[in-house]
Chains A and B, each alone.
Chain A
Amino acid sequence: MTLALDAPRIVETRPLLEVHGVSKSYKSIRAVRNVSAHAYQGEVLGIVGESGSGKSTLLRMMNLEEIPETGSYTLDLPDVSGNLFELDRFARRMLCATKIGIVYQNPHLGLLMKHSSSGNVAERLLVAGERSFATLRQAATEALDASEFPLDRLDAPPIELSGGMQQRVQLAKAIALEPALLLLDEPTTGLDVSVQALVLDTLKRLQQDRQITMVIVSHDLGVIRTLADRVMVMRRGEVVETGLADQIFQDPQHPYTQQLVHAKL
């Protein structure tokens, strides 16, 4: 047995994101059991685990798409307070639009496939109350540019774009309002390896330039290794291990994590 770790002593700020004791069942299946997680400002938290481990459910809770039966969720931001799971539908929608961005594995979940790419991004700003066409167009273009989307294709609908480009549109939409928190659900799964590397590189740049707090869920350890500062390993709805990314990959403690790390090609 290794030593139990102390509470933070040098870093005195509160984590930006704190989820505490959340549980969620679907019929007889307990998808997430008593899970707690946190991420500090500017930190990238990686969540790994196989399908059915509850990692995506947890991420959807952080996006307030799923409300757990028990547990609390706080974001340490100005004018955000209390347990976010208790917000009403309208407040939830507003909070998600302005403070949280999300990129899904499946672009159909995040985009209107037949609307223009810039329109998809601008929609985010409309929800937040922006009405001037010029401002919308300008902000959408900037977000797409930051996501390294080719600007000569602004008006192309996502349905006509490659998988990698669709993910860039999702990313642009997610960051258009400069969210405090960016959630990524298998953002590169299903893409060609070379395209995957480019999307990961874009994410890394964004993270470094803007110091966005990110939570990234993936079953791909390479993705997590490239991006995450800290890693949480989930299995059957529970957290089996958390640690600094290099420690999880070089000195995994839990039998399941060891199996996972050693199974990597």
Chain B
Amino acid sequence: MTQVLEIDRLTKGFSLHHLEKDIPAFENISFTVAAGEFVLLKGANGAGKSTLLRTLYRSYLPLSGKIRFHSSYGLIDLARAADVDVAHLRRTEIGFVTQFLTARPRVSAEAIVAEPLRLAGWEPEAALNAARKALETFGVKPDLWAAYPTTFSGGEQQKVNLARALILPQKLLMLDEPTASLDANARGALVERLQELKEQGTAMIGVFHHPDDVLHLIDRIVDLTPDHTPTEERDDVAL
């Protein structure tokens, strides 16, 4: 299997200076993710699942350890890659899906969804067409495509958010509870799109409050509960 990510003894904690306190998040986490593999992060609230995703995306700076990413430019350690390199990889190879849309005033739903394609160099018309198709897949009504999502309901915003986050196939995709606030149809569309990306070779790491939706996609489970065997094959565990 082609490895995409090798996480090696990764440790994260936060120093809160005004409290003069160090708060550990997780310690010495090691696991690998191969192309087309789907890894589910498990652990109680506060075990550091979302923190780990954000550290891999470099919204958080790790304290120690390595995040070896097999980029199309070669191997790079995301734990200490230059900011400009991380920014470049985020535009091209590393995606992050959250449950929140950052809607901007006066930007239409279709333009928001098309943006990642535009940044990747697509022609405006082609990008817009692909965006409309993605919005349709996630069940956003055509009347809303040219409207501003700032006024949409939470569920509709989330559909726009997912259409945007998943439109450009990436090498590595982080999923932070993307099914929250979705209706059944949209959940179905999400799972279908993830399946498609998986088949195309995207490596995925996800946190799901209710993993039932994605059960059949999961290849491996990494448990972040301290003093727990860190990884298990999916067949051996009850969820």
Cβ of B29 within 8 Å of any chain A Cβ, yes or no, is no
Chain A residues within an 8 Å CB radius of B87: 43, 229-230, 244
CB distance from A6 to the nearest CB of B (A): 5
Total CB contacts across the A-B interface at under 8 A? 87
> What size tier do the contact residues of chain A reach?
20 to 34
CB distance from B61 to the nearest CB of A (A): 4
Q: Which residue of B lies closest to A262 (CB)?
A: B18
Cβ of B80 within 8 Å of any chain A Cβ, yes or no, is yes
| A5-B82, A230-B83 known; A259+B63 contact, CB < 8 A | no
Cβ of B62 within 8 Å of any chain A Cβ, yes or no, is yes
Cβ of B228 within 8 Å of any chain A Cβ, yes or no, is no
A4 to B18 Cα, complex, angstroms: 23
Whether B80 contacts A197 by the Cβ 8 Å rule is no
Which residues of chain A from 222 to 265 have any CB-CB distance to chain B below 8 Å in the complex? Answer: 229-230, 242-244, 246-247, 250-251, 253, 255, 258-259, 262
> What size tier do the contact residues of chain B reach?
20 to 34
Whether B58 contacts A244 by the Cβ 8 Å rule is yes
Whether A9 contacts B73 by the Cβ 8 Å rule is yes
Taken residue by residue from 1 to 34, chain A's Cβ proximity to chain B (1 for < 8 Å, 0 otherwise) reads as 1111111111100000000000000000000000
| A201-B105, A201-B106, A250-B60 known; A9+B18 contact, CB < 8 A | no
| A3-B62, A251-B60, A258-B17 known; A244+B73 contact, CB < 8 A | no
A198 to B104 Cα, complex, angstroms: 10
Taken residue by residue from 11 to 34, chain B's Cβ proximity to chain A (1 for < 8 Å, 0 otherwise) reads as 000111110000000000000000
Among B15, B71, B77, residue most surrounded by chain A Cβ atoms (within 10 Å): B15
Chain A residues within an 8 Å CB radius of B62: 2-3
Whether B77 contacts A6 by the Cβ 8 Å rule is yes
What are 11 A-B pairs at a CB distance below 8 A? A3-B64, A5-B82, A5-B83, A8-B84, A11-B88, A197-B105, A198-B106, A201-B106, A243-B61, A244-B86, A251-B14
Interface residues of A (CB under 8 A from B): 1-11, 40, 43, 197-198, 201, 204, 208, 229-230, 242-244, 246-247, 250-251, 253, 255, 258-259, 262
